[in-house]
Structure 1
Amino acid sequence: MGLIVTLLLVVGFIVLATSQLKLHPFLALLGAAFIAAFAYGLPIDSVVETITSGFGGILGYIGLVIVLGTIIGVILEKSGAAITMADVMIAKLGDRFPTLTMSVIGYIVSIPVFCDSGFIILNSLKESLAKKLDTSPIAMSVALATGLYATHTFIPPTPGPIAAAGNLGLESSLGLVIAAGIPVAAVAALAGMLWARRFVNTQPDVDDTLSEAEARHQQQDWEALKASYGRLPRPLAAFAPIIVPIALICIGTVARLPAAPFGEGTAMAVLSLLGQPLTALLIGLLLATALLKSENRIVEFSDRISEGIVSAAPILLITGAGGAFGAVLSASPLGDYLGSTLSTLGIGIFMPFIVAAGLKSAQGSSTVALVTTSALVAPMLDSLGLGSDMGRTLTVMAIGAGAMTVSHANDSFFWVVSRFSRMSVGLAYRAQTLATLIQGVTAILLVYLLSLVLL
């Protein structure tokens, strides 16, 4: 019992430090690792080595993947590729199902682009379509936000799911995570879109209180926004940097299956190499260079790399600190104790969901919830019956479902959606926060059903 009380106190420290004291999650997780190491009685001379090896171990492979994925996302955002993706979706889906159109656009754009940035970029499109189709901008906002949120928490190369997969030992099997994440995220996005339809007759209930820069962005119509990017990329060039790496990762995962569907010769070796996440994302980055527009592409490319590194740095630090925290928990007796205790309760796949949902709701960051929960549950997966690759994959999905439950006032995405949608806090709670609750619950129920079939 003392082991559980200690764990609750350590998790409470993480929540208090990040939500109330506003301490950066990196320091909160690193501090939690030291606290847990001493509380669980790890030998003093091994504490620092355990923490540093955990920090470096997770970043040794996943770190480069996170950086490359972030750089690709920056290039897609700055080049207008996200705008092209949205235009393609509008052309394919037409104007008959506006909320579905916004949900699908969000679902695709948020795979390479952070959901906060994606919502701001697509806000003008959302407003323009709402006026053109005489549809509530509130319904369109919730559909867009939930579509963005779904892939943000489930599908690599978004950093959160990558970090969770790394903590759970799936760094070489991201294809499985992608293959599971695509349908789970689609169902979560559909649930959010159906909830959004409840607000088709609801109008914004606050006046514009945006900053001058935000107000200009709000008033800019879709055509003007597209014109501001100059020549937009062609659809093939826009989609290739994200579609090709995902396809290669999935093919590489299939090539490495025990059944060896591509044989065991040169073809298997080549496909396995190309399907390694690092190699696949390097190819994606190479394809992304076609989106560069300036006359001096080398300088522009260097600038985008710098921006990507700056964006990735906090995520790398959080991921590394989460790895350090997980290494301490793995070295403690907690894993065996919790595994044997929880296995008798029969909650299985719901356990990581509950932990992630608690962390997400308490401190606001989906990435922190993904990293912390995956580090915490990794030592006990075998005892929970989730030790296989498929079990670990479904655990990433369960954590992702928890990491979207729920988005409210301590989440920056909540404020992006509410401010740009001109929603009061009360309306945002009814529309956006409840939507993320429905998404999370729907996703974990689907993951549970999948676990009954696949485990």
Structure 2
Amino acid sequence: MDIQLLLALVLGIATIVVLVLRTRLDAFVALLIAALVTGLVAGQSPLDIVKAITTGFGNTLASIGIVIGLGVAIGKILEVSGAANALALAFLRLFGKGREPWAMGTVGALVSIPVFCDSGYVIMNPLARSIARVKRAGYVTLALALGVGMTLTHHLVPPTPGPLAVTGLLGADLGAVILTGLVFTVLLLPIAVTYAKWMGPKLESSVTEEVREAVYGRAALVGASEGSHHGGTSTITADDDAAPAQEDLPDDPELDLGTPPEGAKPHRVGAFLASLPLLVPLLLIVLNTVTGAMDQNAQGVVGGKYEPSAWVVPFAFIGNPVIALIIGVLLAVYVLLPRWTPRSRVQGWFAEAAASAGLILLITGAGGALGQVLRSSGVGDALAEAIAATALPAFLVPFLVATLVRLAQGSGTVAMITAASVTAPLVGTLGIDPLVAAMACTAGSMILSYFNDSYFWVVTRFTGLEGTAALRGWSGITTAVWAGSIPLLFILNLILG
């Protein structure tokens, strides 16, 4: 590989890491500056660099911007309507007694598909505390299982903004990414729950007194203290198979849905209705993928230009991510919210959702800009040729880039978008399947959540873990699922390669 082009790539990635870690600039500006640095070091003319940045930014948001905005809108309504809580309770009843860690991990995975994991964890953590309070034990296990369940789908399953952006940057099929991400989640969840059940009891005594009292009550805190003074173990123990009774579980949170008319029944969202805004769009998108694949097989189209048959067009329309998520928003507003909720309040929630999506949209567009500069400057082709000359599997490149960027600056979303931006020019040249590349970017960004990750602080503060206990619990469990994803990537590459 030409030393100048290699230097351009290295300096571009280093620019992102240094600016995010050492300056007041955020990832959006850092990605744009990295694109400038990459282009200039590679020898591209300044005007060509600017053109590549604007072209890459615009093309990326044209394909994915609307979808991200609609996705976070659905998540906001699920959050404020109590639908997320209803789904969680349904899964607890479904799994039954003694399987609460599995239920919490599954709840976390489901809720985090449309809801940002930071806010999703805050919403669902009271459920973990209520179960632990009834069982008088096991809070750390439940909290870790909940948190890492959210991590899995937050990183692996669109329409969470990160993987959605990666899908657009790499040109992967959205339905295929959703299906594969769900499969990865199902296969990795046992690793997460097993780690939580193994490490949780070891860390129970490390929970801060404030959180211990909030979870178990003052009497339990005193009992634990007396046990420790006498060299014994904490008295916060119970039969692990003791299941919380229905009346002991939290009901819907306090909802600010407006003033109901006199005589109206209290607003409650059942699990089936709560699932509709999430499941219907996902099913429509997957149905579009399946019918399109069937039609291409029937036509014998392999790699060439594909024109959908007449019978596929309706599925292609309603399964387009934009249309599917518009349907999801309509279901969320008109099924989950009561008719008396003021229009102004609903519009305010949409404004909050748009604000939370704004930075993600800008970072995604900037990632597209960096990718376009890598293409137009020749860095992408040079990197592809260098990889082809080695024995390294090509799909490990995005995985390792995402891993290193995540370790350096903490944000999984920035890590996967950076990896996708670097990988996008290589997909065609090296023959990497876009689906494999997308999963490599998202899986690589799960490694070692620690002090530079905001979600680390959310989970550990709510769980009451500090110092080495926090690292053993949360950093360890995220690294475990990251490691577990490596053989899955090899198998996926073997199938699609």
TM-score tier after normalising by the smaller chain length: over 0.9
Match of 2:194 in 1: 194
Measured in 2, the distance between the counterparts of 1:189 and 1:22 equals 37
Alignment partner of 1:269 out of 297, 305, 313: 313
Match of 1:114 in 2: 116
Match of 2:145 in 1: 143
Measured in 1, the distance between the counterparts of 2:146 and 2:314 equals 39
Normalising to structure 2: TM-score of the pair?
A: 0.85
Match of 2:47 in 1: 45
> CA-atom RMSD, angstroms?
2.2
After superposition, the Cα gap between the structure-2 partners of 1:22 and 1:222, relative to the gap in structure 1 and judged at 3 Å, is farther
Measured in 2, the distance between the counterparts of 1:111 and 1:44 equals 40
Matched, 1:282 2:308: no
CA deviations over 1:373-392 (Å, ceiling 9, x no partner): 10111111233330xxxx11
Higher alpha-carbon deviation: 157-166 or 423-432: 423-432
Does the aligned pair in 1 maintain the 2:413–2:445 contact within 8 Å?
A: yes
CA apart distance, 1:317 = 0.6
Normalising to structure 1: TM-score of the pair?
A: 0.93
Match of 2:77 in 1: 75
What one-letter code is carried by the residue in structure 1 that aligns with 2:179?
A: A
Matched, 1:228 2:230: no
Matched, 1:55 2:81: no
What one-letter code is carried by the residue in structure 2 that aligns with 1:277?
A: P
| Higher Cα Rg, which structure | 2
CA apart distance, 1:63 = 0.2
Match of 2:351 in 1: 306
Q: Equivalent residues in 2 for 1:40-439 (5 A)?
A: 40-170=42-172, 173-201=173-201, 202-207=203-208, 223=249, 226-229=252-255, 231-257=267-293, 259-260=295-296, 265-289=309-333, 290-293=335-338, 295-347=340-392, 348-386=394-432, 391-439=433-481
The count of corresponding residues between Structure 1 and Structure 2 is: 444
Measured in 2, the distance between the counterparts of 1:404 and 1:315 equals 18
- 1:89 partner SS: helix
What one-letter code is carried by the residue in structure 1 that aligns with 2:103?
A: T
After superposition, the Cα gap between the structure-2 partners of 1:134 and 1:278, relative to the gap in structure 1 and judged at 3 Å, is same
- 2:457 partner SS: helix
Does the aligned pair in 1 maintain the 2:456–2:474 contact within 8 Å?
A: yes
CA deviations over 1:132-170 (Å, ceiling 9, x no partner): 234321111111111010000010100000100111013
Give unmatched runs, 5+ long, in structure 2.
218-246, 256-265, 300-307
Does the aligned pair in 1 maintain the 2:8–2:39 contact within 8 Å?
A: no
CA deviations over 1:181-233 (Å, ceiling 9, x no partner): 111122222211111111242315253568xxxx98999x9755625236331
- 2:193 partner SS: helix
Does the aligned pair in 1 maintain the 2:291–2:312 contact within 8 Å?
A: yes
CA deviations over 1:21-43 (Å, ceiling 9, x no partner): 24210011111111112111222
- 2:94 partner SS: helix
Measured in 2, the distance between the counterparts of 1:446 and 1:78 equals 36
| Aligned sequence identity (%) | 35
Does the aligned pair in 2 maintain the 1:175–1:252 contact within 8 Å?
A: yes
Higher alpha-carbon deviation: 266-275 or 58-67: 266-275
- 1:383 partner SS: helix
